[in-house]
Chain A
Amino acid sequence: MNLLAIMISGFGLMNDRPVCAVWVLLFSPLVATVLITLFAQRWKGLSASLSIAAVLLSFAISLGLFIALAFHGLQHLPHSFQWLVVGNVRIEFGMVTDPLAILMSLVVTGVGSAIHIYSLGYMKGDAGFSRYFACMSLFTFSMLGIVIASNFIQIFIFWELVGLSSYLLIGFWFEKPSAAEAGKKAFLVTRIGDFGMMLGILLLWSYTGTFNFRDLQARLPMMISHETLALPTLALIGALIFCGAVGKSAQVPLHVWLPDAMEGPTPVSALIHAATMVAAGVYMLCRVFFLIAPSAGALTLIAWIGGITALMAAIIAIAQNDIKRILAYSTLSQLGYMVMAVGLGGPTQAMFHLTMHAFFKALLFLAAGSVIIGLHHEQDIWKMGGLWKKMPITFWTFLIASLALAGVPPLSGFYSKDEILVLAFENNKCLFAMGVGAAVLTAFYIGREVFVVFCGKPRDQHAYEHAHESPLVMTLPLIFLAILSIIGGWGSRVPEFLSPSHLAEQHSPVLSAGLIAMPVVGFALAWILYWKPEPSDAPVKSALGTTYVWIQNKFYFDEVYLWIVKYVQGTIANVCEWFDRWILQRLGIGGLSQGTGLLGRTVRLLQTGSISGYAFFFGLGVTVIIYYVVVR
């Protein structure tokens, strides 16, 4: 009831003072973080309530904004204040409330609310319960900051804050070395992309003199037509800013951190590493699409990176054995679709798929978390099997999400994936083929996961007997997300909301039939290979031969990076160490100290201890001074 009161007060605030409401939307999770960290650490229930209340308040305000925008034609709320003025650099702190931002904040807070509530059940009894909720609220705050940011500096600050909260949550169980390592890896790998993004932002600023999105959008066409900003430069800027998205959205070649990020608690994987944070890169690309759109080179690069990621991750996913890792590679693959859509000139389609993906992928992770809790932290799919009888709600919601992921009509994933593939078909046949391949593989690997985990005979009898359905606090969010996964795509309302001129694609019946056939083919393959009492990977292994080893080892990306770090970075480190030890320490610092000592010992010879000597030098000195002052 209290939660209802919070949501109603959020609505009220929304109607009275929309600008104020947006600031509350942004800052209420931060307030929760601060309160939990400073005062409520000791009372677990209070910490959780604070965090959940904050995210629900944000959700209510987002919903209010959405309704205002969709039905009452809310005007833009251009609100910003001067934050920093350094010389002629002006940095503002402002907000954007266009359909793109509202949709994204609705996804973040909506899916976030479900996951916060689910966490109550999942994290029950954990020693770091309060810390967990503080970090979750910090994440919500940072993510909302990216969403409503009105300029590049603001987006970059929150971008890094999101990286920080992701680090804190991946390494939540920091006493486990693999979790601590995974957190560090995620932080460092995304930093590489962020560095490129920072360069891009600064380069853009050096040409245009502004960070503000609206000013940029207004100035850019004129600058291009007057050739004050050459197209190759703009392409470089676009590519550099895209680097940030490559890191955050885990595209090839910086995708290696995301699978490892599964070391975090499962709700974290659902919220951060599936539904929202990894989508931040795609959101940012859509936000600055006006920058990228004029240069065909940048668009092509983005489309190909996305396409390669989509296909490669889908291939890797068929040979993984960890229930969460399969989903992680699936996330990579779907993010690849979104990035590809942006590269093909369809930010609307990308955001559509982002929204739908947030629903069904969060659901997949939460259901997987329910399985993991039900089996007492067992994550190997080969030790599961036959769970559908023991965990009916988890099974059915997982199945719905899987079908949505595979793109089975009329579930949400069908509509969004369909639009992206049609876009690819019209623009680039090669990318279209890759997208179709990835779509078939998607249905195959998710079919494999469903059949191996929930069907067949239980392989670990002991674990099976102790398996139990999760409590209501966990299954309710599952049902909520399952409903969204089913109805989310109906009538293409989301793309219409984003751009009113968007029309549902009219395409040939052959193409439609083909798009419907893809998931069917994938599921049929999975059915043939894994729908049996004792499924195994053996047929796939023998069919693929050595390729399978490559796939199982994720194409050796990690090994190559390790090799590079070990030899290239190791050599540079050795050279630097030699320079530091012999040149800086011995010659520089050592030389300076020894020179000073030598000088001191020399000058000490003057101190004879004989007063007459001192008096003589004193007299001599005075004479010299007088000579210079008087005579010269």
Chain B
Amino acid sequence: MSRARAALTALGSWLDDRIGLAPLRAMARKKEVPVHGHTIWYYLGGMTLFLFMVQIATGVLLLFYYRPSAEGAYESIQFLMAEVQFGWLVRSLHSWAANLMIVTLFVHMFSVMLVRAYAPPRDLTWMTGVILLVLAMSFGFTGYLLPWNELAYFATRVGTQIIAVVPLVGDFLLRILRGGDDVTGATLTRFYAIHVALLPAVTVTLVALHVFLVQRHGMSVPDEVERAPGPKRSMPFFPNFFLRDLVGWLIALAILAGLAAYMPAELGPKADPFAPAPAGIKPEWYFMFMFQTLKYLPAHILTFEGEAVGIMAFALGGLFLFLVPVLDRPKPGAKPSRFFFWAGIAIIVFIVVMTYLGYTADPTA
């Protein structure tokens, strides 16, 4: 026992000499996490990070069997689900963790927005976060096509066609995105490259920056807590907050395992470019609010095509989110505007209502 401990200490100092662990240790000892009524939201970012790590691990495992071609992709997933030991589990974990990660990401983002935790100096942290949301949705969009099933095929046809509304270069961008004029095997290899190489590289880099910035500025404390009289409470990051964070990870893992085991990912029929789109075609749920909004728009708004207007509106909405810390600059000493709080609430209500309608409204009505 004592010999093992001595060996560990020796290894520790050997590493310390080479890497310089002392500042890290000092930081971990010094770091405090504020304790107040909103502390619960601090765990959502960590849960998102955990789910992202699950995605990397299960994604690497899927690569051992997946074949990225229009002829082989669907069959390789069938083989994975039916023949490979625990293949269904790995794919279901990957699919469910993706969904849960988007959930925690949304909750994380809106909790930050509603308590104005994006205020400088955390504005850059917020902006990297909004980019990470876009990256996560791009992961979802590209990954959805990879099994090459009917639902994903048509959802991708629709989803990619949307880029054609960009003025002047729309058709050109569409060709680049699809690798041709239609969604084909060429689209599949493109999406595959984006999904397993490009996005992971960019995302890992940005996550590192995001987490570094969180460390750099510490946890944000909501204004109302800051102004409240009385002493401020806090807990040490290590081990108190760290262990609670781990509990958050375990909760996420438990939910994930339950969903993957009891509701494994489905595959459906293989994509057929020469079959009519099935009636139930739908995108992933986190695109549903946009998909549903497009259904309600008339063919023409003024002189523009309806969907072009809708898509521009969503693009502007995304830009608005990105720029919230720049737009919300209260004058020194003045109370911050409630506009951004209510804008956040309005966005949440819009997303929830449209998503609900997307799953309940009769598609043939």
A binds B: no
